[in-house]
């Protein structure tokens, strides 16, 4: 049996020797006594055994035990390998006999074959032979460099992320200033490992090697930023790394931005704010030009980076994002205040570049943020000309997208025109999906008559003052519906009104009312936030708050509101114009509508101790805080506490459950306010209504409902019908509870018509049913494009409203002059 085992082992070794001549084999040194010795160095020997040359290493204590290192047929190859092998391995064997293990030797042989120019110190480092490094025979090679790669042992240790070995090498006087063939120091390799290794290297960094540039002209900071190693980057900065130093075309901040590393950007800007304005030397791009994600754009904008910065070609970040078709970055930049009408190279507007991408989503994203669809470039080329002459499949969709928002055809005589852009052409394009909703039909005869009556400012002033010249100027009131993220529609409409009137919305209205998203918007306007800013606010809200599944994290929502409005800002901190925001007190049955105000409620004012007895709450409900105690952020949170979307705010739920369209509640509030003033003998402070403007968040498409019947099922089929019917009935109840269109608007219009008050209602028909928590930018841009189409179709109505607003404002000026004259007399 032993004989068979030996035969099998010999056969196996023979096969392995043939297939892998470098496989380590344990042998008996006596087997080589009758072989020809070619050469011998210490424990290493090379023998010729038949047709092969066999290199072995003996155990110093055990003369019989040895390892066969390789078996080669060619003498020159064997001599070359043996010489290199014994020169590199002998110092390691001398330093520690623990190297003489089969697995250890195999690793050494394999490593040396892959890197034949490495020294024994390289091998010891690569295999983690820490105890061998201090031996004199190895220590003398501690700073040796590989002649091909220039790598020194310190580079290998750092690259392998072996902290203990790096520490040992530093103790052994390994130089941190050594550079490899690519110009990298140990710091360049440490930049992608961990901060502990950087600390160890810093103990020996006398000549500030940390700021050495490699062959690419980049410092270790560049490398850390490129590889998203924020901790390493921070540690490098602690130990003197200079973020303003580079011999390449970019700075560390550009590398961090390119890789969308939020933490690296924050660390760099915190330690060196000038990084935000650094331009790369090749293109002249600021960090924000290099951004690839909306999160990076948002961070850089928050840190103060100029969203309209220009590179050497005169292009803004928007120009770059459009060329790269980064819709999310485009929307983020525009929502952060980037100029939608910025002109770049050769006078091209953003819309020109967007059309060249032949991407309808990119084009829509530019249009909805207010770009001029009729601006020509330096060659007199209009946007519609580019769209109409596109060779892509999306040509008709691009033309349609422009045509529906008022893009003009080319002037007569323009060369190279097609039917989609020439002055007498007929082609207006085709939609790529659902067409834009058709224009609204006239809603009521009263509205048409009112438009005629308001055709001129002078005629309206005469109408307004015909009853009593001494009457106070009429109140201009604005009501904003609820609708979640569709509050963007409200902002789009307000921007159109603001542009037509040439004045900020805050200065054109005396009283605001809002529900849910409309309430938050009303509070934002009250506290001086511009409409462009609030648009960015909504995009930030959906990115920061609408994260994960419903219900969303209420704490994030509350933190967001506190940041925007201030944690301690009270409702009465800003008293003009007046504002009321709806909420629902849900801690009682039936639930009650509550109005958050920046003034004392009419009923409270009329119930002052001097005029009436104090009321007693027999139900023992805790009284709601008054306006002077109510934080603004809390009022915003209460009005936006939509069930299933957010947790209730204490006892409050979303005001949309009772008053999703708060117009009638606003009119009632004003009537009660005037009655309270009359009751308190303060009739001189009473103000009549002058104008009512009601804005909706869009009308969703009407779709058929197959079944809304709820009944006792008589079988399996009836059970299925019951399920569909119950769902339809549930949707019906929710829709009616939160109704903001239809008869709700008709009642408001009729109310105003009966008392001769101008009433304007704007609410676009949407192509799709947009959910309250929609977050996808392409969907939101389509919604805003529908709104822009609606505004273009109703531009005359918008201009009429602007004239009414300015005429009422003129009435205020006349009233002021009259009161001044009375005072003088």
Question: Would you please indicate which residues are annotated as catalytic (active-site) residues?
Answer: 516, 654
Dihedral, CA of residue 448, residue 451, residue 455 and residue 456, to nearest 10: 150
How far from 489 is each of 403, 505, 604, 781, 784, CA to CA, in Å? 20, 15, 35, 10, 6
Number of H helices, E strands in the chain: 34, 12
d(C-alpha 491, C-alpha 531), whole Å = 6
* Partner residues linked to 652 by β-bridges: 585, 649
Burial of 36 per CB tally in 10 Å (0-12, 13-18, 19+) = exposed
d(C-alpha 228, C-alpha 260), whole Å = 8
Dihedral, CA of residue 774, residue 775, residue 778 and residue 779, to nearest 10: 0
d(C-alpha 626, C-alpha 601), whole Å = 9
Q: Residue 701 phi/psi, 5° resolution? A: -60, 145
- Report the 10 Å Cβ neighbour count for 789: 24
d(C-alpha 219, C-alpha 214), whole Å = 6
Q: What stretches of 689-794 show up as alpha helix (H) in DSSP?
A: 716-737, 743-754, 777-793
Place of tokens 């409902």: 705
d(C-alpha 186, C-alpha 793), whole Å = 66
Structure token digits, residue 209: 């090697």
Q: Under a CB-based contact definition with an 8 Å cutoff, are residues 759 and 692 in contact?
A: yes
DSSP states along 678-692: HHTT-GGG---EEEE
d(C-alpha 311, C-alpha 304), whole Å = 17
Structure token digits, residue 186: 């140990």
DSSP state, residue 622: P
- Asked if omega into 590 is within 30° of 0 (cis), the reply is yes
Q: For Cα atoms 253, 305, 779, give the angle at the middle one, nearest 5 degrees.
A: 105
How far from 355 is each of 317, 333, 359, 384, 421, CA to CA, in Å? 17, 18, 7, 9, 14
d(C-alpha 595, C-alpha 3), whole Å = 101
Place of tokens 């209420």: 554
Structure token digits, residue 156: 């290998």
Structure token digits, residue 315: 């292009």
Phi-psi region of 416 (alpha: psi -120 to 50; beta: other; left: phi over 0): left
d(C-alpha 475, C-alpha 671), whole Å = 11
């Amino acid at each position: 049996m032993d004989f068979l085992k030996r035969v099998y082992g010999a056969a196996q070794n023979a096969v392995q020797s043939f297939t892998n001549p470098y496989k380590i084999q344990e042998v008996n040194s006596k087997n080589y006594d009758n072989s020809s010795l070619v050469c011998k160095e210490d424990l290493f020997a090379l023998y010729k055994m038949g047709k092969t040359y066999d290199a072995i290493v003996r155990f110093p204590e055990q003369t019989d035990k040895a390892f066969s290192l390789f078996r080669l047929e060619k003498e020159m190859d064997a001599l070359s390998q043996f010489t290199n092998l014994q020169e590199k391995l002998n110092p390691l064997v001398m330093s520690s006999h623990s190297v003489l293990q089969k697995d250890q030797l195999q690793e050494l042989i394999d490593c040396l074959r892959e890197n034949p120019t490495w020294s024994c110190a390289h091998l010891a480092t690569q295999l983690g032979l820490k105890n061998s490094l201090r031996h004199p025979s190895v220590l003398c090679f501690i700073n040796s460099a590989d002649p091909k790669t220039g790598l020194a042992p310190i580079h290998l240790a750092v690259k392998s992320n072996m902290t203990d070995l790096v520490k040992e090498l530093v103790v052994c006087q390994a130089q941190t200033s050594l550079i490899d063939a690519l110009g990298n120091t140990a710091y360049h390799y440490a930049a992608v490992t961990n901060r502990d290794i950087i600390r160890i290297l810093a103990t020996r960094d006398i000549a500030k090697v940390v700021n050495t540039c490699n062959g690419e002209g980049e410092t270790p900071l560049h490398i850390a930023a490129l590889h998203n190693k924020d901790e390493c980057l921070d540690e490098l900065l602690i130990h003197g790394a200079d973020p303003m130093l580079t011999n390449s075309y970019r700075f560390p901040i550009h590398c961090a931005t390119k890789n969308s590393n939020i933490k690296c950007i924050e660390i760099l800007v915190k330690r060196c704010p000038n990084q935000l304005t650094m331009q790369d030397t090749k293109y002249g791009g600021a960090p924000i030009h290099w951004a690839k994600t909306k999160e990076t754009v948002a961070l850089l904008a928050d840190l103060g980076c100029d969203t309209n910065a220009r590179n050497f070609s005169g292009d803004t970040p928007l120009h770059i994002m459009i060329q790269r078709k980064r819709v999310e970055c485009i929307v983020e930049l525009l929502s952060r205040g980037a100029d939608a009408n910025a002109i770049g190279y050769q006078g091209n507007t953003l819309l020109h570049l967007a059309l060249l991408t032949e991407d309808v989503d990119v084009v829509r994203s530019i249009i909805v943020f207010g770009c001029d669809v009729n601006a020509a470039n330096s060659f007199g080329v209009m946007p519609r000309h580019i769209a109409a002459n596109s060779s892509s499949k999306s040509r008709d969709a691009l033309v349609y997208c422009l045509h529906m928002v008022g893009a003009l055809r080319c002037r007569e005589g323009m060369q190279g025109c097609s039917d989609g852009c020439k002055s007498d052409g007929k082609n207006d394009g085709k939609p790529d999906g659902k067409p834009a909703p058709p224009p609204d039909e006239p809603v009521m005869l009263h509205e048409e008559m009112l438009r005629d009556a308001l055709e001129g400012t002078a005629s309206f002033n005469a109408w307004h003052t015909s009853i009593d010249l001494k009457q106070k100027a009429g109140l201009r009131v604005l009501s904003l519906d609820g609708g979640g993220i569709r509050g963007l529609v409200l902002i789009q409409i307000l921007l159109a009104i603001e542009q037509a009137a040439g004045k900020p919305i805050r200065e054109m209205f005396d009283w605001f009312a809002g529900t849910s998203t409309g309430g938050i918007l009303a509070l934002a306007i009250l506290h001086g936030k511009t409409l462009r800013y609030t648009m960015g606010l909504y995009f930030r809200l959906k990115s920061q708050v609408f994260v994960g599944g419903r219900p969303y994290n209420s704490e994030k929502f509350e933190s967001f509101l506190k940041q925007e409005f201030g944690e301690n800002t009270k409702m009465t901190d800003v008293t003009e114009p007046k504002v009321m925001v709806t909420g629902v007190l849900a801690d009682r049955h039936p639930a009650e509508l509550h109005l958050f105000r920046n003034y004392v409620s009419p009923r409270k004012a009329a119930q002052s101790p001097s005029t009436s007895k104090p009321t007693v709450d027999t139900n023992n409900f805790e009284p709601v805080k008054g306006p002077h105690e109510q934080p603004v952020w809390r009022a915003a949170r209460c009005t936006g506490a939509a069930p299933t979307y957010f947790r209730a705010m204490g006892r409050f739920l979303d005001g949309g459950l009772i008053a999703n369209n708060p117009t009638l509640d606003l009119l009632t509030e004003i009537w009660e306010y005037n009655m309270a003033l009359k009751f308190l003998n303060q009739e001189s402070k009473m103000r009549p209504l002058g104008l009512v403007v009601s804005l909706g968040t869009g009308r969703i498409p009407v779709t058929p409902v197959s079944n809304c019947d709820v009944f006792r099922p008589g079988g399996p089929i009836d059970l299925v019908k019951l399920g569909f019917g119950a769902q339809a009935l549930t949707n019906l109840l929710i829709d009616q509870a939160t109704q903001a269109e239809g008869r709700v608007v008709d009642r408001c219009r009729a109310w105003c018509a009966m008392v001769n008050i101008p009433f304007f209602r704007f609410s676009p028909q949407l192509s799709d049913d947009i959910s309250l928590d929609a977050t996808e930018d392409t969907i939101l841009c389509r919604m805003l494009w529908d709104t822009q189409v609606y505004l273009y179709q109703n531009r005359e109505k918008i201009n009429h409203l602007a004239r009414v607003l300015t005429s009422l404002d003129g009435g205020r000026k006349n009233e002021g002059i009259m009161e001044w004259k009375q005072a003088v007399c």
